[in-house]
Amino acid sequence: MRIAIFDNLANSAYVQAKVLHRLGHPVDLVLDPLDRYVMSDPRWDDLDLELPTDQLTEPVLPHCEQPGWIRRQPGTLVVSDSAPAGRLEHAVRNLCKAVGLGGPARLALRQAGWRGAWMAADRAWVVRTLSEYDCVIAYGMGPVWAALAGVPCLAETWGGDITMLPFYDTGDWEGHETVALPGPPRELAAQAKLQRMGYRHAGRILLTDPRFVPFAERLGVAEKCVHLGFIVDVEKYCPQPEAELRELLLGGSDGLIVFVPSRQDWYWKGSDRLFRGFARAAEVHQDAVLVCAGWGADLDRSRRLITDLGISERVRLLPSAMSKERLRRYYCAADVVADQFTVGSYGGSALEAMSCARPLLISLERDRFDGRFPSFPPVMNVSEPDEIADALTRLFDDSRLRATLGAQAREWVIANHGPRLAQSVMDLCHEVVGENAARRHTAKR
């Protein structure tokens, strides 16, 4: 069976493909030619480097050897076209693509009007490429392109693709009270209609976070949802010494490091809560250092808060975005990792830190995890500044607690987000293909 994984936001698909290849499943990774963000480039997962945050779109990355099973639209390997096409030229080109697509473009037109057909034409190479496969594991809007290609698919969710995108035309996407529409309303409304079609087409919808369940129920697709978390490359993310990096971050002192991979965002990450909690814990532990990603929507607010709290000398706001290999080094150099304190669930960064055997501070809603795993994730489950301060104080005071919690975290990730999970995805692919074949056979009788 030929299987493709489409869309590589945060390199989740690339990681999944690597793990599947190790298990003997020769899947292909099909990249979205319109996604030029650096964190969607497989090289970002392998290279050890940093980039200024104003260079994350259309980046020029150094060459590195990449697997032959990565498929890119010709002409998109390094950077985009040297000059953007004019509107008229783009329109003519897209019209020709839409005519060439035929049935898929007409289906998109029926579902979402001319804007839907336009989007299908923009992804003409993707639709044709996915049609070569027996099954597609589809992230983001991948279920749409798989539906237009007429290929069975598993829709694997990462967040906004199920909590926001399908509801852009109904006005009640996740966070709509605070988060504005990220683009033109009519274009986003067309995307929403296409996304709902994609989910209807999908044979299974893999919910990587229990907080997605209410959104699946609103879409009327809960009966084909499967709870299946993010797949972590536990071979890459493992405890390793990083003495030189520790010395650099501590300035030669013998203190403790709290590392925060999450961007500066008070709504989605609760960055302000962490600063307040760290400030209280650091009153006693004056050798502790807080190392944070120095980018995000609330970077300026965070800088002002750090100054107001009087912890400027104790906080390192890193000026650049880190590749995944560089990020792994920071996990391993840290004594404690802190993620988010508002959402109630975890993402890839939290699991990667746990896989590196680091104690994790995070806010998790227990009701979401009951019955989903044999045991609750072994983390410091905190949300408010006082709770964060107390947890940090305990971890700063007790090296044995740090080691024990870190070891338990790695064991839990291996058991619940390791190779076993990847094999489950392959089993679901076979189920979906079999069910699709049975439906076609019945329809022909």
At 79 the pLDDT is 37
Q: Do both 387 and 294 map to the same domain?
A: yes
At 378 the pLDDT is 97
Strands 360-362 and 135-138: unpaired
CB atoms within 10 A of CB 33: 18
Q: Do both 410 and 436 map to the same domain?
A: no
Q: How far apart are CA 375 and CA 413, in angstroms?
A: 11
Query: Are the C-beta atoms of residues 268 and 296 closer than 8 Å to each other?
Result: no
Retrieve residue 89's tokens: 């030229």
Q: How far apart are CA 440 and CA 217, in angstroms?
A: 27
At 429 the pLDDT is 96
At 292 the pLDDT is 94
At 84 the pLDDT is 52
Q: How far apart are CA 436 and CA 1, in angstroms?
A: 14
Q: How far apart are CA 147 and CA 242, in angstroms?
A: 46
Tell me whether residue 381 is in a domain: yes
Going from the C-alpha of 349 to that of each of 89, 260, 273, 388, the distances in angstroms are: 41, 9, 19, 19
State in Å, rounded, how far the first CA of the chain is from the last one: 25
Is the dihedral angle over the CA atoms 379, 209, 356, 251 positive or is it negative? negative
Q: How far apart are CA 119 and CA 148, in angstroms?
A: 11
Tell me whether residue 237 is in a domain: no
Q: How far apart are CA 22 and CA 137, in angstroms?
A: 17
- The CATH number for 389's domain is 3.40.50.2000
At 81 the pLDDT is 38
Query: Are the C-beta atoms of residues 264 and 297 closer than 8 Å to each other?
Result: yes
Q: Do both 429 and 333 map to the same domain?
A: no
Q: Do both 432 and 410 map to the same domain?
A: no
Q: Do both 256 and 403 map to the same domain?
A: yes
Which amino acid appears at position 158 of this protein? W
Tell me whether residue 398 is in a domain: yes
Tell me whether residue 236 is in a domain: no
Query: For each of the chain's 445 residues, which pLDDT tens digit applies?
Result: 999 999 999 899 999 999 999 999 999 999 999 999 999 999 999 999 988 888 888 888 898 899 999 999 987 543 333 345 567 677 777 778 777 888 999 999 999 999 999 999 999 999 999 999 999 999 999 999 999 999 999 999 988 999 999 999 998 899 888 878 889 999 999 999 999 999 999 999 999 888 899 999 999 999 999 998 889 999 999 999 999 999 999 988 889 999 999 999 999 999 999 999 999 999 999 899 999 988 888 999 999 999 999 999 999 999 888 999 999 999 999 999 999 999 898 988 999 999 999 999 999 999 888 878 889 999 999 999 999 999 999 999 999 999 999 999 999 999 999 999 999 999 999 999 999 998 887 877 6
DSSP 114-166: HHHHHHHHHTHHHHHHHTTSSEEEE-TTHHHHHHHHT--EEEE--SHHHHTGG
Q: Do both 267 and 149 map to the same domain?
A: no
Helix axes of 142-149 and 185-201: crossing angle, nearest 10 degrees: 60
Q: Do both 294 and 216 map to the same domain?
A: no
Tell me whether residue 265 is in a domain: yes
DSSP-assigned letter for residue 53: G
Q: Do both 137 and 36 map to the same domain?
A: yes
At 249 the pLDDT is 93
Q: What is the distance, to the nearest Å, from the Cα of residue 167 to the centroid of all Cα atoms in its chain?
A: 20
Query: Are the C-beta atoms of residues 214 and 193 closer than 8 Å to each other?
Result: no
Helices (H) and strands (E) in the chain, counts: 18, 15
Q: Do both 401 and 252 map to the same domain?
A: yes
Share in percent of the chain as helix, strand, coil (round to 5): 50, 15, 35
Tell me whether residue 112 is in a domain: yes
C-alpha triplet 217, 220, 224: angle, nearest 5° = 85
Q: Name the residue range of residue 199's domain.
A: 3-231+420-444
Tell me whether residue 140 is in a domain: yes
Q: Do both 256 and 390 map to the same domain?
A: yes
Q: How far apart are CA 426 and CA 433, in angstroms?
A: 11
Tell me whether residue 70 is in a domain: yes
Query: Are the C-beta atoms of residues 315 and 306 closer than 8 Å to each other?
Result: yes
Strands 320-322 and 50-52: antiparallel
Q: Do both 59 and 197 map to the same domain?
A: yes
pTM: 0.87
DSSP 42-71: HHHHH---EEEGGGSBS--PPP----TTEE
Q: How far apart are CA 359 and CA 276, in angstroms?
A: 20
The total number of structural domains that make up the chain: 2
Q: Do both 353 and 439 map to the same domain?
A: no
